[in-house]
Amino acid sequence: MKVGEEGKVYDDINITPMLDVAYVLLLIFIIMTTASVQGITVNLPKPSNKPAPALSKPKTKAISITKEGAIYLDTYPVSIEELETRLGQYKAATPDLPVVVKADGAVEYDKVVSVLDVVTRLGINQLGLVTQKLVK
């Protein structure tokens, strides 16, 4: 406690240093946020009026390839021949069949290409490749 000129006791807390710290932290937060948003400027294509297929739709089929090279259609293991047969059946029932391919990063490139060949042969044009979000 401090005694002033007229004998008054000052028991107030000086908040100016706390405000200075708060402003510095706010400034650092703003700078770091804007620094992480910057990137390469590109002209993005305009989307069509038709909505894109989503995984939440029940007709979407997921093809997964493990790092060992095993292929799964939804959750069932299949060979390349079985994949082509089953996708052909689904394509016959649903002409605009959406398909997503999820491949492990360590899988051989040849395996992914063979799956993409099957999808191309069947005339499936709604294809998505699932990737993982890059963490910085």
* pLDDT of res. 44: 42
Are 125 and 71 within one domain? Answer: yes
In which element (H, E) is residue 63 found?
strand 61-65
Residue 51 lies in a domain: no
pLDDT of 10 > 80? The answer is no
Mean residue pLDDT of the chain comes to 77
Question: What pLDDT shows up at residue 22?
Answer: 93
Assessment of whether the complete model's pTM goes beyond 0.85 = no
Are residues 68 and 29 part of one domain?
Answer: no
Name, in order, each residue with C-beta under 8 angstroms of 69's C-beta and a sequence gap of 6 or more: 107, 108, 111
For residue 106, what are the domain limits?
61-129
Question: Looking at residue 51, what is its pLDDT?
Answer: 54
Examine the domain organization and report whether 119 and 80 are in the same domain.
yes
Q: What is the mean pLDDT of residues 12-22?
A: 87
